[in-house]
Chains A and B, each alone.
Chain A
């Protein structure tokens, strides 16, 4: 078990870093910007804007 955890050390550390970055992004209010973009039709994405 401990050996397996050791094998995955880099992956686990990076996953934790990813979560921390997500948390910081949410704290800064980025999720709200993404949400606003996602709930309105993105004209550029569909080739109109």
Chain B
């Protein structure tokens, strides 16, 4: 049983790795210290993947949203919002579980042994609402209203919070470009501290960034209950044993709500169910 579970989780990880490689396929960028400038960057990718990563072949939807909202010419990002509605309506947080490179990194970090892993804690439920606040303030309101003399807003989530940009873009680009060394300052230090903190927390807690901070997860979570791809429970077969809730690392009880906003569709509950009543 244990062995089967581990094998099955690696099946999902293989999909995550393949998708991460596909969306970061400009591998020469990691050698040259440059980013891809081709036409594919017109397209958004579904997961959180910094477009300043040397390998990135597509555009981060959260970055794209801030870029357009912060542009003096627009003020609302129909393209990026439409993309998120489209992907969310089809898949919900399946993206988080299967197609997000930073989700994969957190999954792998959680496999590092630690004396005491934190499954939940006091205030966990409340802290999960923080990602909606991050989405509203740092992705939408601040780039919209906190603008310079030209009316341009900065991508505040990317600038002040996102550890993905530091990991995928900041560190490799600074290592590969000596010309950038002189420009490093408090912001770079701050973002590296945030990244280190996120890495440490990811060893301790399962996917802390997805649970508490990620604005992309916040958007997709809204679509979880109505997305085309979603779970269904065969109520006639369910014996209420609680095996699904016990195995869920996002602390969801699928028997009560199989399409809870926190569910990332990792499929562990389906495998754990002795009655095979989750479809």
* A associates with B: yes
Binding site for B on A (CB under 8 A): 8, 10-15, 17-26, 28-31, 33-35, 37-39, 41-49
Interface contacts (Cβ under 8 Å), in number, total: 163
Count how many chain B residues have C-beta atoms less than 8 Å from C-beta atoms of the other chain.
Answer: 59
Contact partners of B87 in chain A: CB under 8 A: 18
Contact between chains at A45 and B226 (CB < 8 Å): no
Majority secondary structure, B binding face? helix
| B223 contacts partner chain A, Cβ-Cβ < 8 Å | yes
Contact between chains at A37 and B42 (CB < 8 Å): no
In the complex, how many angstroms separate the beta carbon of A41 from the nearest chain B beta carbon?
A: 5
Majority secondary structure, A binding face? helix
* CB-contact partner of A46 in B37, B42, B174, B228, under 8 A: B174
In the complex, how many angstroms separate the beta carbon of B152 from the nearest chain A beta carbon?
A: 11
Q: A12 to B223: give the CA distance in the assembly, Å.
A: 12
- 9 new A-B contacts, CB < 8 A, other than A17-B89, A21-B86, A25-B80, are A17-B85, A18-B89, A30-B77, A34-B59, A34-B79, A34-B80, A35-B41, A47-B166, A47-B190
Q: A20 to B220: give the CA distance in the assembly, Å.
A: 18
Q: A45 to B165: give the CA distance in the assembly, Å.
A: 5
Contact between chains at B155 and A44 (CB < 8 Å): yes
Contact partners of A33 in chain B: CB under 8 A: 67-68, 71, 73-74
Q: Are A46 and B170 CB-contacts (below 8 A) given A17-B85, A24-B78?
A: yes
Contact partners of B89 in chain A: CB under 8 A: 10-15, 17-18
* CB-contact partner of A25 in B77, B170, B191, under 8 A: B77
In the complex, how many angstroms separate the beta carbon of B179 from the nearest chain A beta carbon?
A: 11
Contact between chains at B41 and A38 (CB < 8 Å): yes
Contact between chains at B63 and A38 (CB < 8 Å): yes
